[in-house]
């Protein structure tokens, strides 16, 4: 057998360098277009066009002076907070059930819970609209909350069940053996061990709700959420710079929250490994 | 054992509690004991909040949507006599058929571009990155979580008449007049969707590549396969589930996408979701809108099943 034939997959040589170059270009493609929002949000011109005219923060001042925009921001923050808590609680119950008990028909149940991720949002939006109409419920923020809970629960389930699967269930059994009630066992063993998962579920469901547009578009009435408000402002060219400013803030905040959420989740797992080693 | 001990303990306390109030403590106790021993009962109790929520907010609305598609609306009145007329309306109108096929074509191209670009990227993270794999994965998933609306909006800023590309090129003297073909057409929709859904494709492909047993690759190399044929005969077929998963994960939601065609599509870039939205929020013919939505979903589902079967067969034939 020739000497150079078995080349391990780890040392990729030239094609590897080519791939690395491609990967960098891919990151530029992924992040580049979005960077234009923050860039033009500091540009001293009403037109979103080159050449850049000079640095200004007045679009940020304008954004925060826009009462409707602030109201929409507050609405979105409130909706997001309620949705995050509600869907994480639902997800926690569900995740505990499917990771701790042998539930017959589990895959069918999971398929139903995960279904919103695979159905186009427009279908979810119109069918919720029909339901609310049939029940005679008025549109508005409470209804948006309900729609978002349906949309966010699958994310909470996914994050939390992977977390609960990850830890040793004998810890819970030990607690029960030592005479704790199921509730105290949950509170003193399961909850602390699942805490990183819970935190990252709260953060991620908050982001999904906060950024969600189409369901809110169908379900809001007088008071829009921030994405719905931004959508309504895109028609007015003179509003564009302040929308850019708000958009830049949202993008930055979401990125930070996602990194935080993923970091917390990873931090939890490495701690656990060290702790049990 | 632990659960048994525990069960008898609470069983007793329950007996003590119910004995005072209930006439039949024995039966209740037995029910309670059965409950505590049954995984299924405990599991379903814990699952009930989420199942009730999903039943009410997902299953019930979808059921109503199906009902609506068999009804008739005249003015504001709804006639609930079941009829297939709405589906006949949908299939009979050429413009709906055209928009359906255009949506399929758009999403098909988006899927092709996105999966094609994501594959080498996922391959690099799975096989090329040794340190900081985690950082790469986070970098690749962040866009998935950030505002979809704003990501689409940034393409409007880039492709617009006075947008980044046009003003940039004019400024550099490359063009005299802004290029009008950049925005408000199908190409703009494809570019924007391919970018917006980029993050969806990488993870499934990455997972399937990461799962591949590395000894298989070594075996192929030992048996004299070169890098390329090793990839083509071992890695690629084994990563097929991830590729199919990614393709479905992009194709299905993009066929139903509303925001992108509405924002950058113009009249020629409209897709199926836009005409559904018009039926629901503007014209107000909900039964027709429901029939449109369900026909489109059925059409997409059939195409997805055909596609994934074909891909699986193709992957098998390589080996």
- Domain segments of chain A: what residues? 69-276
| Interface residue B65 vs chain A (CB under 8 A) | yes
Among B39, B62, B85, residue at a domain's last position: B85
**Facing B46 at nearest CB: one of A96, A147, A181:** A96
**Which residues sit opposite B73 in a β-bridge?**
B78
Q: Please list every residue in chain B whose beta carbon sits closer than 8 Å to the beta carbon of residue A211.
A: 145-150
Q: CB A120 to CB B139 under 8 A?
A: no
pLDDT (tens digit per residue) in B19-33: 444 556 678 888 777
Q: CB A10 to CB B130 under 8 A?
A: yes
- pLDDT of A14 strictly over 70: no
| Interface residue A224 vs chain B (CB under 8 A) | no
Domain range for residue B26? 2-85
Of residues A128 and A264, the one with the higher pLDDT is A128
Average pLDDT over residues A206-218: 94
Q: Are residues B81 and B91 in the same domain?
A: no
Tell which residue, A156, A267, A163, A146, has the closest CA to residue A218.
A146
Q: Are residues B122 and B271 in the same domain?
A: yes
The secondary structure element, H or E, covering residue A78 is: helix A67-100
Give which of B3, B78, B147, B247 to mutate to test A binding, by max A Cβ within 10 Å: B147
Residues of B numbered 98-137 whose beta carbons fall under 8 angstroms of chain A's beta carbons: which are they?
A: 117, 120-121, 123-125, 127-128, 130, 134, 136
Q: Are residues B164 and B79 in the same domain?
A: no
Contact B193, B254 (CB under 8 A): yes
pLDDT (tens digit per residue) in B176-226: 888 888 888 899 999 999 998 888 889 899 999 988 888 888 888 888 787
Residues of A numbered 114-153 whose beta carbons fall under 8 angstroms of chain B's beta carbons: which are they?
A: 115-116, 118-124, 126-131, 134, 146-147, 149-150, 153
- pLDDT of B57 strictly over 50: yes
Pull the structure tokens for residue A230.
């931004």
- How many separate domains does chain B show? 2
| Most confident among A42-46, A103-107, B109-113 (mean pLDDT) | B109-113
Q: CB A30 to CB B117 under 8 A?
A: no
CA distance A81 to A148: 11
Of residues A167 and B230, the one with the higher pLDDT is B230
- pLDDT of A4 strictly over 70: no
User: What contacts 24+ positions apart, CB below 8 Å, involve B170-179?
Assistant: B171/A50, B171/A51
**Facing B224 at nearest CB: one of A5, A29, A50:** A5
pLDDT-derived band at B267, boundaries 50, 70, 90: confident
Q: Are residues B64 and B168 in the same domain?
A: no
Chain B: residue whose CA lies nearest to A213: B149
Chain A: residue whose CA lies nearest to B264: A234
ipTM above 0.85, yes or no: no
HEC assignment per residue over chain B: CHHHHHHHHHHHHHHHHHHHHCCCHHHHHHHHHHHHHCHHHHHHHHHHHHHHHHHHHHHHHHHHHHHHHCCEEECCEEECCCCCHHHHHHHHCHHHHHHHHHHHHHHHHHHHHHHHHHHHHHHHHHHHCCCCHHHHHHHHHHHHHCCHHHHHHHHHHHHCCCCHHHHHHHHHCCCCCCCCCCCCCHHHHHHHHHHHCHHHHHHHHHHHHHHCCHHHHHHHHHCCCCHHHHHHHHHHHHCHHHHHHHHHHHHHHHHCCCHHHHHHHCHHHCCHHHHHHHHHHHHCCHHHHHHHHHHHHHHHHHHHHHHHHHHHHHHHHHC
The angle formed by the CA atoms of residues B57, A116 and B54, to the nearest 5 degrees, is 30
Residues of A numbered 62-121 whose beta carbons fall under 8 angstroms of chain B's beta carbons: which are they?
A: 89-91, 93-94, 96-98, 100-104, 106, 109, 112-113, 115-116, 118-121
| Interface residue A40 vs chain B (CB under 8 A) | yes
Q: What is the pLDDT of residue B143?
A: 83
Contact B213, B239 (CB under 8 A): no
- Separation in Å, CA A160 to CA A89, A185, B94: 10, 17, 47
Give CA B135 to chain center in angstroms: 25
Q: Are residues B309 and B262 in the same domain?
A: yes
Superfamily holding A69-276:
MetI-like (1.10.3720.10)
Q: What is the pLDDT of residue A87?
A: 96
Q: Are residues B28 and B104 in the same domain?
A: no
- pLDDT of A146 strictly over 50: yes
Q: CB A227 to CB B162 under 8 A?
A: no
CA distance A258 to A245: 20
CATH number of the domain within which B142 lies: 1.10.3720.10
Q: Please list every residue in chain B whose beta carbon sits closer than 8 Å to the beta carbon of residue A22.
A: 120-121, 124
Among B35, B67, B85, residue at a domain's last position: B85
């Amino acid at each position: 057998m020739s000497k150079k034939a078995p080349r391990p997959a780890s040392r990729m040589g030239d094609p590897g360098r080519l791939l690395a170059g491609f990967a960098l270009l891919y990151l530029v493609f992924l992040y580049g277009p979005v960077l234009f929002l923050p860039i033009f949000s500091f540009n001293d011109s009403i037109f979103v066009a080159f050449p850049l005219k000079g640095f200004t923060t007045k679009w940020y001042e304008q954004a925060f002076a826009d009462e409707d925009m602030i109201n929409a921001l507050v609405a979105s923050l409130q909706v997001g907070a309620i949705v995050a808590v509600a869907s994480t609680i639902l997800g926690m119950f569900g995740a505990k059930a499917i990771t701790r008990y042998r539930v017959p028909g589990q895959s069918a149940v999971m398929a139903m819970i995960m279904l919103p991720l695979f159905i186009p949002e427009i279908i979810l939006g119109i069918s919720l609209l029909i339901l609310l109409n049939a029940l005679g419920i008025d549109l508005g923020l409470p209804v948006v909350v309900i729609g978002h809970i349906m949309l966010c629960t699958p994310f909470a389930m996914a994050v939390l069940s992977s977390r609960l699967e990850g830890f040793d269930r004998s810890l819970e059994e030990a607690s029960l053996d030592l005479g704790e009630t199921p509730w105290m066992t949950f509170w003193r063993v399961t909850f602390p061990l699942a805490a990183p998962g819970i935190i990252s579920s709260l953060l991620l469901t908050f982001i999904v709700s906060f950024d969600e547009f189409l369901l809110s578009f169908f379900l809001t009435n007088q008071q829009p959420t921030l994405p719905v408000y931004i959508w309504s402002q895109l028609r007015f060219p003179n509003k564009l710079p302040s929308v850019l400013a708000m958009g830049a803030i949202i993008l930055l905040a979401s990125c930070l929250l996602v990194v935080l959420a993923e970091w917390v989740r990873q931090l939890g797992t490495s701690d656990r490994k060290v702790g049990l080693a | 054992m632990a659960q048994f001990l525990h069960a008898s303990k609470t069983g007793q306390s329950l007996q003590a509690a119910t004995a005072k109030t209930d006439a039949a403590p024995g039966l209740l106790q037995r029910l309670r004991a059965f409950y505590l021993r049954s995984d299924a009962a405990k599991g379903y109790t814990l699952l009930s909040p989420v199942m009730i929520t999903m039943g009410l907010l997902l299953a019930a609305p979808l059921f109503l949507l199906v009902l609506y598609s068999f009804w008739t609306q005249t003015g504001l009145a709804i006639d609930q006599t079941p009829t297939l007329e709405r589906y006949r309306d949908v299939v009979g109108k050429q413009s709906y058929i055209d928009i359906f096929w255009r949506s399929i074509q758009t999403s098909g191209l988006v899927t092709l571009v996105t999966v094609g670009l994501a594959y080498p990227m996922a391959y690099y993270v799975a096989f090329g990155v040794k340190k900081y794999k985690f950082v790469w994965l986070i970098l690749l998933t962040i866009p998935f979580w950030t505002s979809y609306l704003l990501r689409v909006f940034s393409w409007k800023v880039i492709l617009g008449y006075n947008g980044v590309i046009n003003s940039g090129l004019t400024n550099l003297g490359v063009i005299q007049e802004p290029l009008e073909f950049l925005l408000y057409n199908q190409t703009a929709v494809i570019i924007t969707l391919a970018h917006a859904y980029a993050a969806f494709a990488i993870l499934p492909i990455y997972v399937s590549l990461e799962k591949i047993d590395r000894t298989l690759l070594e075996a192929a190399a030992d048996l004299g396969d070169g890098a390329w044929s090793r990839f083509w005969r071992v890695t690629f077929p084994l990563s097929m589930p991830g590729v199919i998963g990614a393709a479905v994960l992009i194709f299905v939601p993009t066929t139903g996408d509303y925001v992108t065609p509405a924002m950058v599509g113009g009249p020629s870039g409209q897709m199926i979701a836009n005409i559904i939205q018009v039926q629901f929020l503007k014209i107000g013919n909900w039964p027709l809108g429901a029939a449109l939505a369900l026909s489109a979903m059925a059409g997409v589902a059939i195409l997805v099943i055909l596609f994934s079967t074909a891909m699986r067969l193709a992957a098998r034939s390589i080996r």
